Chain A
Amino acid sequence: MKETVGETALGSYRVLDLTDEKGLLCGMLLAGLGADVIKVERPGGDPARNVGPFYGDIPHPEKSLFWFAYNLNKKGITLNIETADGRRIFKRLVETADFVIESFPPGYMARLGLDYSALTQINPRIIMTSITPFGQTGPYRDHKGSDLICMASGGLMYVSGDPDRPPVRITVPQAYCHAGAHAAVATMIAHHYRQITGKGQHIDVSIIESVAWMVGDMAVLWSFDGFLTSRAGPRTGRGRLYMLDVWPCKDGEVCFRILGGVYGRGIRPLAEWAEREGMAGALKEVKDWQAVDMSKVTQDEMERWEKAFKAFFAQKTKAELLEEAKAKHIYLMPSNTPRDLAEDEQLAARNYWVEVDHFDHLGTTVTHPGAPFMMSLTPWRIQRRAPLIGEHNVEILGAELGLSKQKLEALKASNVI
């Protein structure tokens, strides 16, 4: 495994991560930046461990690739905070923690006496980040969520998919990723404030708002013009014209958009290529793509040009089109599958895919996406794989908190850990 040790940005901070699948990415980002993130799970393991896909297609709580992905670098303890001993242990951990992240239903932590106001009594500097589908307060606060529910409520689904079919979601669940990323930003903003003032605070993250952020532009089209953006298949609607974004080619699809003005320079080399191969068709109408004014293009013109480009793409593979796009600065990219991504030359050249050591329990490494950014002095670190259930109980509860072997056994037998 390529170990990246050394300087980290957040190495001196501890995070207690009580999230389930709704918030795992938040702690994962902090962990990759060096923070000491402890994943706190209920005894027996978090339900997120049952989410596939699984390594070797073996459904098992220690083999979930979803779990591996979003708990990379975290340590793991089990702790039942619904028990008196569990709460006491948690409070001891809060004393020395810098961040608490959780995604329980609103009111749950308060009922256990572990809400923000209680935690500030223990540690006045604590920053607590709470991630829920709809937010901590409001008419929907007690509604149950899921990825489908949040993607629908957040507005992205209504505008996605073919017009003759129902609204569709992105198959790989996205809502919790968006929320986790925004939660990490807000947590770091609060941290910056704390560095200067010494004050912590409570952060209330709404998953549906994290999704709705993506369609804010469309909400403006509604309030400005009364235009209701609606699903248009492979097209993106922006007011009058629906731009074709996804085009079939010989062995799949490519992403490309017909645009004029300053973007016209990304179209011209493509039109010239089609011309060289005798396939220009209606594209010959356009003398200068940079002079094309999209606000004046008619639906008829658009359809003629689309027909010409489609006929040309049908003769070319994704690889051929990408090669030319690279060489001639054409604004076109292939629609990649996971296989294409695994074989992508750019990602390979940047050493993006990393092998994470799972020898001790799988006898092999597991390939992960690598650094989401390259920092020159405090690079993204990969120190350990995602934790096994209760893997660090002895280290944290025993060695650090000083609980004896007998006590740990008693806590295990009574389902506290």
Chain B
Amino acid sequence: MQTKQALEGLKVVELGTAAVGPFIGKYLADFGAEVIRIESSVHPDITRLTSPFKDGILGLNRSSAFTQINTSKRSISIDFNHPKGRELGKRLMTWTDVVIENFAPGVIERWGLQYDELKRAKPDIIMLSASSQGQTGPCSKMVGFGFNLKGLTGFVHFTGWPDRTAVGPPLAYTDFVAPWFAVVAILAALDYRHCTGKGQYIDISQSEASLHFLSPAIMDYFANHRVQTPQGNSSPYAAPHGVYRCKGNDRWCAIAVFSDEEWHAFCAAMGDPPWAQDSKFATLLDRKENEAEMDKLVEQWTINSTPEELMNLLQSVGVPTSIVQNSEDLNDRCPQMKHRGYRPVVNHAEMGPHRHMGWPCILSETPLQLRPAPCLGQDNEYICTKILGISDQEFLELSESGVLR
């Protein structure tokens, strides 16, 4: 049964590439907005060319990366090098409520699609430009990808062990931070427009947004002149607090003991071994003092059990513990993820049934309804004739002139 969708009726044009722009469009599309991706086979989005491909067969509609990132959207293929293509793009801009783009500053201007131009034709348009460091400033033209932006923003510095070079999180980390701020800004702008009739322009710098996840550490530098450094898994106010090897191949559990109560429960769960009675582990401060020794002793216990056994045992007595989950756990085994239906199966036109990322929030009235990612240009006819009201004859001419590719 189709329930109402939260963003039904909201119209979005997405000029997105790679991850950041498309993630923003995906959030809106998955909750019911009509999101039209303008793309082209002349310069396909990098994710359409990224492996792995379904069954290892290369194809613009067979990339799992593209499919994950672009669920629920429509696709029109337009060659912007063609003047008729740019004209078509402009027509879509008079239809839409919101435009999202994440090209390097300057690209949109080359196509004549900058905010001031779009506003002329549609005064209440809301446009969001996401770039790595913002539309202005001495570094605005630097091309940033998540894999180097994670360094610029400090996330690399903060991931690692105190006695070694920092390694950073192994992904384009800021790609998974900045887009959420962008979606909030767009929805806030929509509310403002709902009340006042006015649209506006949003310039989001991925670095400026992402730095909010490091606020306390950066504020520590400004206030106290301290340059914080990576601390492995330790916590200044909890012990044991870390990751311990378990039975199995590269299996680990995470344990975090914050209070005296949790410590006593933890000791009891271990069977009150003699070492745990030693006064050098009696209080939090004592345990922090003797942390290296304590961690070895804890691991001598954890190594005999699977992380599942330890999690179940320790959580049942109120000690925060989890499995350090890998891809197989997340995809196949985690009963909590399964329960919440976090990775629903969606049927893709060319790839068939495929597990997708949902979103981490369940809305009670308007639950998520993922639709498949589009094949390139699959909605050309629908968008031209039904949305833009172009005649069948004109549509034929556009198709034959090479504009729609």
| Contact in complex: B320, A144 (CB < 8 Å) | yes
| Contact in complex: B31, A189 (CB < 8 Å) | yes
Check B41 for interface membership: any CB of A closer than 8 A.
no
Inside 8 A of B230's CB, which chain A residues have their CB?
171
Per-position 1/0 for A129-164, Cβ under 8 A of B: 000001111111011111011111111111111100
Closest 7 pairs (CB-CB, A-B): A255-B151, A209-B360, A186-B361, A152-B254, A69-B215, A188-B187, A222-B327
Given A53-B216, A213-B176, CB of A166 within 8 Å of CB of B147: no
Chain A min CB distance to B381 (Å) = 29
- Name B360's contact: one of A160, A205, A337 (CB within 8 Å): A205
What residue in chain A is nearest B234 (Cβ atoms)? A171
| Contact in complex: B176, A214 (CB < 8 Å) | yes
Q: Is the interface of A mostly helix, strand, loop or mixed?
A: mixed
Check B231 for interface membership: any CB of A closer than 8 A.
yes
22 A-B contacts (beta carbon < 8 Å)? A68-B219, A140-B335, A144-B320, A148-B242, A148-B256, A153-B324, A155-B329, A157-B254, A160-B170, A162-B160, A167-B252, A192-B6, A217-B65, A220-B52, A228-B327, A236-B170, A245-B168, A246-B166, A326-B141, A333-B144, A338-B227, A350-B136
Chain A min CB distance to B108 (Å) = 15
Check A109 for interface membership: any CB of B closer than 8 A.
no
Given contacts A53-B216, A70-B215, A243-B147, 13 further A-B contacts (CB under 8 A): A53-B228, A153-B322, A159-B171, A165-B232, A172-B228, A202-B363, A224-B52, A262-B46, A335-B154, A338-B157, A369-B218, A372-B208, A378-B189
Check A232 for interface membership: any CB of B closer than 8 A.
yes
Q: CB within 8 Å of B: which of A302-360?
A: 325-326, 329, 331-342, 345-347, 349-350, 352-353
Check B61 for interface membership: any CB of A closer than 8 A.
no
What residue in chain B is nearest A200 (Cβ atoms)? B365
| Contact in complex: B228, A165 (CB < 8 Å) | no
Q: Determine the distance from Cα of A398 to Cα of B165 in the docked complex, in whole angstroms.
A: 55
Check B194 for interface membership: any CB of A closer than 8 A.
yes
Given A138-B339, A171-B159, A217-B65, CB of A333 within 8 Å of CB of B149: yes
What residue in chain B is nearest A261 (Cβ atoms)? B49
What residue in chain A is nearest B199 (Cβ atoms)? A377
Inside 8 A of A89's CB, which chain B residues have their CB?
none
Inside 8 A of B322's CB, which chain A residues have their CB?
143, 145, 149-150, 152-153
Q: CB within 8 Å of B: which of A190-234?
A: 190-193, 195-197, 199, 201-210, 212-225, 228-234
Chain B min CB distance to A266 (Å) = 7
- Name B340's contact: one of A7, A206, A266, A334 (CB within 8 Å): A206
Q: Determine the distance from Cα of A177 to Cα of B180 in the docked complex, in whole angstroms.
A: 11
| Contact in complex: A234, B168 (CB < 8 Å) | yes
Check A170 for interface membership: any CB of B closer than 8 A.
yes
Inside 8 A of B203's CB, which chain A residues have their CB?
373-374
Given A193-B7, A203-B361, CB of A338 within 8 Å of CB of B236: no
- Name B330's contact: one of A155, A167, A224, A256 (CB within 8 Å): A155
| Contact in complex: A346, B187 (CB < 8 Å) | no
Chain B min CB distance to A32 (Å) = 10
Check A183 for interface membership: any CB of B closer than 8 A.
yes
Chain B interface residue bracket vs A: 35 or more
| Contact in complex: B152, A336 (CB < 8 Å) | yes
Q: CB within 8 Å of A: which of B244-300?
A: 244-245, 250, 252-254, 256, 258
| Contact in complex: B184, A152 (CB < 8 Å) | no
Q: Determine the distance from Cα of A261 to Cα of B241 in the docked complex, in whole angstroms.
A: 44
Inside 8 A of A353's CB, which chain B residues have their CB?
222
Given A53-B216, A225-B52, CB of A335 within 8 Å of CB of B137: no
Per-position 1/0 for A166-182, Cβ under 8 A of B: 11111110100111011
Q: Determine the distance from Cα of A375 to Cα of B195 in the docked complex, in whole angstroms.
A: 16
Chain A interface residue bracket vs B: 35 or more
Q: Determine the distance from Cα of A255 to Cα of B171 in the docked complex, in whole angstroms.
A: 12
Q: Determine the distance from Cα of A146 to Cα of B202 in the docked complex, in whole angstroms.
A: 34
Q: CB within 8 Å of A: which of B133-164?
A: 133-134, 136-145, 147-161, 164
Inside 8 A of B219's CB, which chain A residues have their CB?
53, 65, 68-69, 366-369
What residue in chain B is nearest A169 (Cβ atoms)? B233
| Contact in complex: B180, A184 (CB < 8 Å) | yes
Check B342 for interface membership: any CB of A closer than 8 A.
yes
| Contact in complex: A140, B233 (CB < 8 Å) | no
Check A286 for interface membership: any CB of B closer than 8 A.
no
| Contact in complex: B169, A145 (CB < 8 Å) | no
| Contact in complex: B357, A213 (CB < 8 Å) | yes
Per-position 1/0 for A39-53, Cβ under 8 A of B: 000000000000111
Inside 8 A of A6's CB, which chain B residues have their CB?
none
Check A248 for interface membership: any CB of B closer than 8 A.
yes
Check B205 for interface membership: any CB of A closer than 8 A.
yes
Given A186-B361, A373-B208, CB of A166 within 8 Å of CB of B180: no
What residue in chain A is nearest B211 (Cβ atoms)? A369
Chain B min CB distance to A216 (Å) = 4
| Contact in complex: A350, B171 (CB < 8 Å) | no
Check B401 for interface membership: any CB of A closer than 8 A.
no
Chain A min CB distance to B24 (Å) = 10
Given A212-B337, A214-B171, CB of A376 within 8 Å of CB of B201: yes
| Contact in complex: A152, B150 (CB < 8 Å) | no
Chain B min CB distance to A209 (Å) = 3
Check A25 for interface membership: any CB of B closer than 8 A.
yes
| Contact in complex: B254, A336 (CB < 8 Å) | no
Q: Determine the distance from Cα of A329 to Cα of B139 in the docked complex, in whole angstroms.
A: 10
Inside 8 A of A51's CB, which chain B residues have their CB?
216
Q: Determine the distance from Cα of A15 to Cα of B311 in the docked complex, in whole angstroms.
A: 36
| Contact in complex: A201, B173 (CB < 8 Å) | no
Given A166-B252, A214-B176, CB of A377 within 8 Å of CB of B192: yes
Q: Determine the distance from Cα of A334 to Cα of B177 in the docked complex, in whole angstroms.
A: 19
- Name A172's contact: one of B152, B198, B213 (CB within 8 Å): B213
Given A57-B224, A70-B215, A372-B181, CB of A186 within 8 Å of CB of B254: no
| Contact in complex: A338, B143 (CB < 8 Å) | no
| Contact in complex: B198, A377 (CB < 8 Å) | yes
Per-position 1/0 for B350-367, Cβ under 8 A of A: 000001011111111110
